[in-house]
Structure 1
Amino acid sequence: MAVKVLVVDDSSFFRRRVSEIINQDPMLTVIDTAQNGREAVDKALALRPDVITMDIEMPVMDGISAVREIMAKCPIPILMFSSLTHEGAKATLDALDAGALDFLPKKFEDIARDKDEAVRLLQQRVKEISRKRFLMGASARPKAPEPAARSPLVGSLPRPGDRQVEPPRIVPVAAFKRSGKTYQLVAIGTSTGGPVALQNVLTKLPGDFPHPILLIQHMPATFTAAFAARLNGLCQIGVKEAEDGDVLKPGHAYLAPGGKQMLLEGRGVGARIRIVDGNDKVNYKPCVDITFASAAKTYADKVLAIVLTGMGADGRDGARLLKEQGSTIWAQDEASCVVYGMPQAVAKAGIATESLPLDRVAQRILVELGR
Structure 2
Amino acid sequence: MTVSVLVVDDSGFFRKRLTEILTASGQITVVGAATNGREGVELAAKLRPDVITMDYEMPVLDGISAVREIMAQQATPVLMFSSLTYEGARVTLDALEAGAVDFLPKNFEEIARDTSQLQNVLINRVLDIAKSQPRARTAGTPAKPVTATPPPRREIPPRAARAATKETHHETAPASPSRRSLKKTPARQYSVVGIGTSTGGPVALQKVLSVLPASFPTPIVLVQHMPASFTPAFAERLNKLCKIEVRQAEDGDLLEPGLALLAPGGKQMMIESRGGRGRVKILPGDERLNYKPCVDVTFGSLARSFPGKTLGVILTGMGADGREGCRMMKQSGAVVWSQNEETSVIYGMPMAVATAGLSDEVLPLNNVGLRLIEGVS
Q: Aligned residue for 1:162?
A: none
Q: Is the 8 A contact 2:271 2:305 kept in 1?
A: yes
**Shift of residue 268 of structure 1?**
6.8
What is the rounded CA distance, in whole Å, between the counterparts of 2:134 and 2:223 in structure 1? 29
Contact 1:201 1:358 in 2 (8 A): yes
Q: Which digits, 9 at most, give the CA deviation of each residue in 1:49-89, with x for residues without a partner?
A: 11100000111111011111111111111010010000000
Aligned twin of 2:284? 277
Aligned residues: 350
Q: What is the CA–CA distance in structure 2 between the aligned matches of 1:53 and 1:32, rounded to whole Å?
A: 11
Question: Structure 1 CA distance, aligned partners of 2:178 and 2:345?
Answer: 20
The answer to whether structure 1 residue 145 and structure 2 residue 145 are counterparts is no
Query: Which aligned pairs between 1:36-47 and structure 2 lie closer than 5 A?
Result: 36-47=36-47
* Structure 2 residues without counterparts, runs of 5 or longer: 139-157, 168-174
Alpha-carbon contact 1:267-1:299 (below 8 Å) kept: no
Residue identity opposite 2:163 in structure 1: P
Between the aligned partners of 1:315 and 1:23, the Cα distance in structure 2 is 33
Report the alpha carbon displacement of residue 134 of structure 1 after superposing the two structures with TM: 7.7
Letter in 2 for 1:99: G
Aligned-partner residue type, residue 17 of structure 1:
R
Please state how far the C-alpha of 1:137 moved relative to its aligned partner. Answer: 2.1
Post-superposition offset of 1:170: 5.1
Query: 1:110 and 1:281, CA in 2 relative to 1: closer, same or farther beyond 3 A?
Result: farther
RMSD between aligned alpha carbons? Answer: 2.4
Question: Out of 229, 234, 237, which is 1:227 matched to?
Answer: 234
Query: Which of 183, 205, 211 is the matching residue for 2:212?
Result: 205
Of 342, 347, 369, which aligns to 1:362? Answer: 369
Displacement of 1:124 in angstroms is 1.6
Match of 2:252 among 242, 245, 248: 245
Q: How do 1:290-305 and structure 2 match up within 5 A?
A: 290-305=297-312
Structure 1 residue 35, shift from structure 2 partner: 0.8
1:365 positional shift: 1.6
Aligned-pair CA distance for 1:269: 5.0
1:3–1:354 CA distance, 2 compared to 1 (3 A): same
User: Structure 1 residues 182, 60: CA separation in 2 closer, same or farther (over 3 Å shift)?
Assistant: same
Whole-angstrom distance in 2 between the partners of 1:110 and 1:216: 27
Q: Does 1:258 align with 2:262?
A: no
Does the CA contact (< 8 Å) of 2:286 and 2:292 recur in 1? no
**Gapped runs of 5+ residues in structure 1?**
150-157, 159-164
Change (3 A) 1:48 1:70: same
Question: What is the CA–CA distance in structure 2 between the aligned matches of 1:269 and 1:136, rounded to whole Å?
Answer: 48
- The change in CA–CA distance for 1:21 and 1:301 in structure 2 (over 3 A counts) is same
| Pairwise CA distance, 1:97 | 1.0
Judge conservation of contact 2:218–2:376 (CA < 8 Å) in 1: no
- The separation in 2 between residues aligned to 1:6 and 1:191, in whole angstroms, is 24
Partner of 1:155: none
Which residue identity does 2:38 align to in structure 1?
A: R
CA gap of 1:146–1:45, structure 2 versus 1, over 3 A, is: closer
The amino acid that maps onto 2:247 is K
Alignment partners' CA distance in 1, 2:133 and 2:185: 36
| Counterpart residue type for residue 341 of structure 1 | G
Aligned to 1:107: 107
1:68 paired with 2:68, answer yes
Q: How far apart in 1 are the matches of 2:218 and 2:203?
A: 22
What whole-Å deviation, never above 9, does each CA across 1:290-333 have from its counterpart, x for those lacking one? 00001111111111101111111111111100100000111111
Identity %: 55
Residues 184-203 of structure 1 aligned to structure 2 (within 5 Å): 184-203=191-210
- In the other structure, the counterpart of 1:343 is 350
Deviation at 1:133, TM superposition (A): 3.1
Structure 2 distance, partners of 1:319, 1:20, is 40
Distance 1:77 1:264, change over 3 A: same
SS of structure 1 residue aligned to 2:29: strand
Q: Does 1:97 align with 2:105?
A: no
In 2, the alpha carbon distance for the partners of 1:180 and 1:133 equals 34
Give yes or no for contact 2:221–2:263 (8 Å, CA) kept in 1: yes
1:352 matched residue in structure 2: 359
2:130 partner SS: helix
| In the alignment, structure 1 residue 31 sits paired with structure 2 residue 31 | yes
Shift of 1:248: 0.6
Between the aligned partners of 1:109 and 1:182, the Cα distance in structure 2 is 51
